[in-house]
Amino acid sequence: MSVNFPLFLVLATAVTGLVWLLEIVWLARRRQAKKTAKALAESLDQPLVVEYSISFFPVLLFVLVLRSFLFEPFQIPTGSMIPSLNIGDFILVNKYSYGIRLPVVGTKVMDISDPQRGEVMVFIPPHKDEYFIKRIVGLPGDRIRYQDKKLFVNDVMQEQEFVERLTGENSQDMLFEETLGEFDHFIYRNRYKDPRSQAWLVPEGHYFMMGDNRDRSSDSRYWGFVSEDKIVGKAIAVWLHKEPGLNLPEFSQNRWIQ
């Protein structure tokens, strides 16, 4: 069972802040009133829980504000966004780009900008309570069609340009450059034909997401649309990379996310 870290952080900040406030307005005065000449030193000592709360509250508050409203780190756990993002990439998520949201509940309290087609977004999908990262393909009201591994948005085919066929263990894959909205990015497609045609109409307040590793991505084609209140933020940069296993982190793959 996964730990709801945002909820834990909010509760920890609230509890330590409440203890600190009680210390200022009541507990310290209560101890002062009970002091005697004989037990002066002991009576003025702060209880351990108060001492810890005063020490941890500023740190927890800083992390809460930073993580909830500004930036949050996130590690890429799967290969669904290859070649744009690799397993082991540590990315930085801009939490305010799509509006200021309350932690835990995700309610937007201030509009800043709306998600744009082609941007890479972190969100919570409808079928699983954990962070996912995919590319925004469909905006509210869009008609999306995926046919013969080509993407159509509102009946307009999104341009794909063949780059190369891969070799080695990925020899069944081909590299394409796709233009989606104002964004040019690379995608992987395997070389096998797919005669199916799938179509979706994106409802208001929702988004259609796809991975750049098109044939190895669990995305909106399988589990549906992403609700606006489940948006976490915009992925903006890779700041660290670590290969699985006993490997040291490296900064040589740092880059902005396209």
Active site residues: 80, 134
3-state secondary structure of 88: coil
Q: Kindly state the DSSP code that residue 213 receives in the 8-state scheme.
A: B
Q: How far apart are CA 225 and CA 203, in angstroms?
A: 8
Q: Which of 40, 125, 13 is nearest to 78 (CA)?
A: 125
- CA distances in angstroms from 145 to 30, 138, 206, listed in the order given: 69, 10, 16
Per the CB < 8 A criterion, the answer to whether 140 and 119 are in contact is no
Amino acid at 147: Q
Per the CB < 8 A criterion, the answer to whether 149 and 196 are in contact is no
Q: Please report which helix (H) or strand (E) contains residue 201, including its range.
A: strand 197-201
Q: Which of 252, 253, 83 is nearest to 166 (CA)?
A: 83
